[in-house]
Amino acid sequence: MASSSQRVAERAKSAVPGSFERLARYLAFAPISSEPASAPKLQELAQTLVTDLATLGMSRARVLTLEGAHPCVAAEWMGAGKDKPTVLIYGHFDVQPVAGEPWTTAPHDLVRKGSRVYGRGSADDMGGWLSHFVAIESWLAEEKSLPCNIKLLIEGEEEIGSPNLSRFMDAYPDAFASDAMVLTDCDNPSTDIPGLTVSLRGLLEIEVAISSAASDVHSGIWGNIVPDPAMTLISIVARLVDADGRLRLGRKEIDPAWLASSHDVPLTDAVIRSGARLLPGVSPLPLRGLSPAAWGWREPAVTVLSTTFPAPGKEKNAVRGTSSMKLSLRVAPGQTAKELLALVTAELTREVPGGLTVNVKEMSAASSSWDYEAKGPAFDASDRAYEKAWGRKPLRIGIGGSIPFVALFGQRFGNLPLILNGVIDPETGAHGPNESMDVGVYEKTVIANVYLYEELATLKS
């Protein structure tokens, strides 16, 4: 005989096609948080979600507001009682703009083509939280209850960097109070391999400036006699990188077990060549014993943002008196921006030829890296739920960039289990034209959610 969760999973699976009508309705709001003119649309969508959450059986469905912020939507179902854990599910209902992008379908219409549904916000992040709506609705329809208490918190400002999320956490602590959190806005390494995000790199931007003279001077007269700050700048910045051009400072030891599993990430040579639009004849950097995932997620990196070298059209035969460069540094998980800044500054300022002074300045507040030990009963529970729905445990993955809401949840609730998953896959094209969601990924995620609530219910018993 099928267990109750199996019956709920069956019901949820059959509810998936119908849920696309709801997705189409939400997408049509075009809730673009970066466009002030869309603010009323975000309000309307928030109200619509409140109505829908109440209809599917959630309690206290409400719009949370703060002066100067797009709203959040909150709802809960606390019927499992005090002896069961409360799980918070976070997602966001706002989307990225589409202006100027070459969409082949109307971006705010949900269009199904083959195994994917297209539309701005389909996978980032409407499909993420809708997969929970379907799972919750199926439990309530089939069993009249859920295995654990659930709170939903759907933000309206993620795509502009969650500028007020910390204030929402302060103003509405009860909406966040929980025993475990499922943050559903992250990647899967492929449509067959579910992902559990466990790390982020941080970001630090610096300016390196160097001067030699009060003005530019004739290079025919003074070249070869006085230092050229541009050349000195090039040579000292080059100290930061190895022969491959990778930052050689602040490298982290990579856990061998994780490194072995990271080869499952389908970042093959061909995927890198096409994904990064490499020209014929150009090779990805040599791996030097690591995997592409290890280089992209776990090691620090440096990129040139801009320079004050004279631009084309501004040529003159002069030694320029000053020169500067802006660099962005990706901070490795488990490393602070301060540590990396200290290493880089020491390297840039040691033994500068010609008595030139190098100034290194932090340009704006650094964003923290995040390194999470996804171990313990909540992650075992998530592994079991995914195994039932996907046929395998989630792969522990990282993100090479910074996501403000993740770092914020990490700072505020890092003592709780934070389960980061989602419905995005490598074909999704989030933040670009023709964003889409794989229907199979969505369906497996709906079913994983059904089991996840049951598995997480065992955290307290």
Site of interaction with Zn ion (CB under 5 A) = 124-125, 185
Q: Which of 92, 160, 77, 164 is nearest to 124 (CA)?
A: 92
Which tokens is 250 given?
């602040």
Q: Which of 5, 129, 3 is nearest to 452 (CA)?
A: 5
Between CA 29 and CA 433 the distance in angstroms is: 18
> From the CB of 134, what's the least distance to Zn ion, in Å?
19
Q: What's 286's DSSP letter?
A: P
Torsion over CA of 172, 421, 451 and 438, rounded to 10 degrees? Answer: 120
Q: Which of 56, 144, 82 is nearest to 73 (CA)?
A: 56
Direct distance between the N- and C-terminal alpha carbons of the chain, in angstroms, rounded to an integer = 25
> From the CB of 76, what's the least distance to Zn ion, in Å?
22
Output 186 or 337, the one with its CB closest to Zn ion: 186
Q: Which of 407, 406, 429, 458 is nearest to 182 (CA)?
A: 406
Kind plus residue range of the DSSP H or E element containing 205: strand 202-211
Collapsing DSSP to helix, strand or coil, 330 comes out as strand
Between CA 120 and CA 116 the distance in angstroms is: 13
Between CA 26 and CA 22 the distance in angstroms is: 6
Do 76 and 114 form a contact (C-beta atoms < 8 A)? Answer: no
The label of the residue with tokens 């460069």 reads: 325
The strand pair at 202-211 and 357-362 is best described as: antiparallel
Cβ partners under 8 Å of residue 213, min gap 6: 226, 319, 321
Cβ partners under 8 Å of residue 303, min gap 6: 327, 328, 330
Between CA 326 and CA 316 the distance in angstroms is: 23
Q: In whole angstroms, how far apart are CA 201 and each of 186, 334, 357, 406?
A: 14, 9, 31, 11
> From the CB of 92, what's the least distance to Zn ion, in Å?
6
Between CA 348 and CA 328 the distance in angstroms is: 14
Between CA 398 and CA 290 the distance in angstroms is: 15
